[in-house]
């Protein structure tokens, strides 16, 4: 059994700050009061223990209150991505079997393609409040959240994340990172994504303040990192680069109290890590996925320089192996085992067993070095096979990211009559740079077969709700040129 997170935390440290947002702060006692009131209003709207609802809203304080209210009411929460199309949201509502969608007023127009009943945030506030019996403990296998995969291939899958999954992930993380009573985590990741939601979980388990930003803002983030108002932050490569640029442009460095920039969503270019080192920003690469309730491996701070580019070792409760390999540095599919791994899916994939012989195949290509440190090479589905040679787009993107005039880079394969497939690159640039410049830059750093056969200059790259690059959509950009 697992203690009800918010109820236990509010009992242990009621006066400690739980949340700050746009200048306002709430203690854990105040957060509990807000959530209990809203949970009673949810019950007045016919929602009871065990019901499955969908939730669509911005990453603001009201959303945090409603998330906790849903958990206190015993609801299973399908976290909807506000960056999806109406059609994509309709699919998830239908597939999940949600009985109701709780939606912020400003996003209600996104639910028009679904017959599922809506409950607006404003309607909850105006509702009567029914008496609620809150469960003091939860079974470990209780489903807390359901998040749909990014849908990199085929239909997105609804992933169950249990109380045990979330707790295991949070405890493993704190055993790796450590915890100080003054830690404050800057959350600019969307709350509908596992990286954002997991920060809320850590908050109630650790008794830690979350400084919530509704949207990522490089200026605000760099200020917080530089002035010491936060000690930790979660980023992806894109947002890390933007924070570093703001610090560089202002001739600033990270405050001495800033402990770690947790970087997920794919490999971080080495050039970014070198820049971060100069600025005193400890970047800890981490590796995880929706099916593992966030982190599976994270690089320890003590290894940040020695193992630059690695995602670290598996966290305490977790195990990693490389499928079909026998020696260190041999590349293969990364497989994961541990109590943080999902028990399964819902909807059309409910019968799909996520594990093979007890291990979760991730679809990612990586290797373990002789000390057991994990290095992620790329997604298996993004692999380019050219003339029999394996080409990993992330390796080429890494090289391009080191060019001073390249802001972002994305690489995918394009069919070729002789080689089968060849790499092509899409770049967002700063200043003046030509295709010949980039070609020459790559030729000095990559084997000839890895050099992109063409470069396409674009204003932005396609990304999902967590700012992860969607390489499968890069080819579509050619149609717009």
Q: What is the pLDDT of residue 265?
A: 77
Q: What is the pLDDT of residue 479?
A: 59
The answer on 371 and 389 residing in a single domain is no
Q: What is the pLDDT of residue 152?
A: 45
List average pLDDT for each run of 10 residues in the chain, which is 481 residues long.
Answer: 97 98 98 98 97 98 98 98 86 95 96 90 96 95 92 74 98 92 95 95 98 97 97 91 95 96 84 92 92 93 82 95 95 96 96 95 93 87 77 86 92 83 92 92 88 93 81 76 50
Q: What are the counts of helices (DSSP H) followed by strands (DSSP E) for the chain?
A: 13, 26
The C-alpha atoms of residue 50 and residue 38 are separated, in whole angstroms, by: 17
Q: Is residue 152 part of a domain?
A: no
Of 330, 351, 380, which closes a domain? 380
Q: What is the pLDDT of residue 480?
A: 54
- Identify each DSSP E strand in 50-180 by its residue range: 52-56, 76-79, 100-103, 118-120, 137-138, 143-148, 158-162
Structural domain span for residue 68: 2-138
Would you say 300 and 310 are in contact if contact means Cβ atoms under 8 Å apart? no
Q: What is the pLDDT of residue 150?
A: 61
Per DSSP, the residues of 408-452 read EEEEEEEEETTTEEEEEEEEEESS---HHHHHHHHHTTS-GGGS-
Q: Which two tokens stand for residue 74?
A: 């015993």
What is the tally of structural domains in the chain? 3
Q: What is the pLDDT of residue 449?
A: 84
Q: What is the pLDDT of residue 425?
A: 95
Geometric angle at alpha carbon 154, from 481 and 198, rounded to 5°: 95
474: helix, strand or coil? helix
Q: What is the reported pTM? A: 0.85
The answer on 191 and 311 residing in a single domain is yes
Geometric angle at alpha carbon 55, from 53 and 61, rounded to 5°: 135
The answer on 368 and 317 residing in a single domain is yes
The answer on 55 and 97 residing in a single domain is yes
Q: What is the pLDDT of residue 154?
A: 59
Size of the chain in residues: 481
Q: Is residue 158 part of a domain?
A: no
Other beta carbons within 10 angstroms of residue 414's beta carbon come to 17
The answer on 177 and 85 residing in a single domain is no
The answer on 123 and 14 residing in a single domain is yes
The answer on 465 and 370 residing in a single domain is no
Reported as half-sphere exposure (CB side, CA atoms, 13 A), residue 330 has a value of 8
Which residues fall within 8 angstroms of residue 133, CB to CB, at 6 or more apart?
A: none
Neighbour-count burial of 435, counting CB atoms closer than 10 A to its CB (0-12 exposed, 13-18 middle, 19+ buried): middle
Q: Is residue 160 part of a domain?
A: no
The answer on 67 and 10 residing in a single domain is yes
191: helix, strand or coil? coil
The C-alpha atoms of residue 90 and residue 145 are separated, in whole angstroms, by: 18
Q: Is residue 155 part of a domain?
A: no
Q: What is the pLDDT of residue 258?
A: 97
């Amino acid at each position: 059994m697992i203690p009800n997170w918010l109820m236990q935390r509010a009992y242990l440290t009621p006066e400690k700050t739980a949340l700050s947002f746009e200048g306002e702060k709430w203690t854990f006692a105040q957060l509990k009061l807000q959530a209990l009131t809203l949970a009673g209003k949810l019950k007045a709207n016919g929602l009871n223990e065990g019901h499955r609802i969908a939730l669509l809203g911005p990453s603001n304080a009201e959303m945090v209150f409603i998330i906790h209210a849903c958990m206190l009411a015993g609801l299973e929460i399908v976290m909807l991505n506000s960056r999806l199309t109406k059609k994509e949201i309709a699919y998830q509502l239908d597939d999940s079997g949600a009985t109701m969608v709780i939606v912020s007023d400003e996003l209600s127009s996104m639910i028009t393609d679904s017959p599922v009943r809506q409950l607006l945030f404003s309607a909850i506030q105006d509702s009567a409040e029914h008496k609620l019996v809150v469960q003091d403990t939860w079974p470990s296998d209780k489903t807390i959240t359901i998040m749909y995969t990014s849908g990199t291939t085929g239909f997105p899958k609804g992933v169950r994340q249990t109380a045990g999954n979330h707790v295991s992930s949070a405890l493993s993380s704190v055993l790796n990172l450590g915890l100080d009573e003054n830690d404050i985590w800057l959350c600019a990741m969307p709350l509908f994504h596992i990286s954002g939601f997991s920060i809320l979980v850590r908050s109630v388990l650790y008794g830690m303040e979350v400084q919530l930003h509704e949207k990522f803002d490089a200026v605000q983030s760099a200020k917080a990192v530089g002035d010491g108002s936060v000690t930790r932050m979660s980023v992806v490569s894109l947002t890390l680069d933007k924070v570093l640029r703001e610090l560089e442009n202002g001739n600033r460095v990270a405050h001495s109290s800033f402990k770690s920039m947790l970087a997920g969503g794919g490999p971080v270019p080495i050039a970014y890590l070198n820049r971060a080192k100069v600025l005193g920003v400890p970047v800890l690469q981490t590796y995880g996925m929706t099916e593992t309730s966030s982190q599976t491996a994270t690089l320890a701070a003590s290894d940040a320089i020695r193992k630059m580019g690695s995602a670290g070792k598996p966290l305490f409760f977790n195990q990693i192996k490389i499928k079909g390999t026998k020696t260190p540095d041999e590349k293969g599919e990364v497989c994961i085992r541990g109590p943080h791994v999902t028990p399964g899916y819902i909807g059309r994939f409910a019968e799909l067993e996520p594990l093979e012989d007890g291990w979760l195949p991730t679809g990612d290509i990586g290797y373990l070095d002789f000390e057991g440190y994990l290095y992620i090479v790329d997604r298996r589905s993004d692999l380019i096979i050219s003339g029999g040679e394996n080409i990993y787009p992330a390796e080429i993107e890494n090289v391009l990211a080191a060019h001073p005039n390249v802001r972002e880079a994305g690489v995918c394969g394009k069919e070729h009559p002789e080689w089968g497939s060849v790499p092509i690159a899409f770049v967002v640039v700063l200043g003046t740079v030509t295709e010949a410049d980039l070609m020459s830059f790559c030729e000095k750093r990559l084997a000839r077969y890895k050099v992109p056969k063409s470069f396409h200059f674009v204003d932005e790259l396609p990304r999902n709700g967590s700012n992860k690059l969607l390489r499968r959509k890069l080819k579509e950009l050619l149609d717009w040129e």
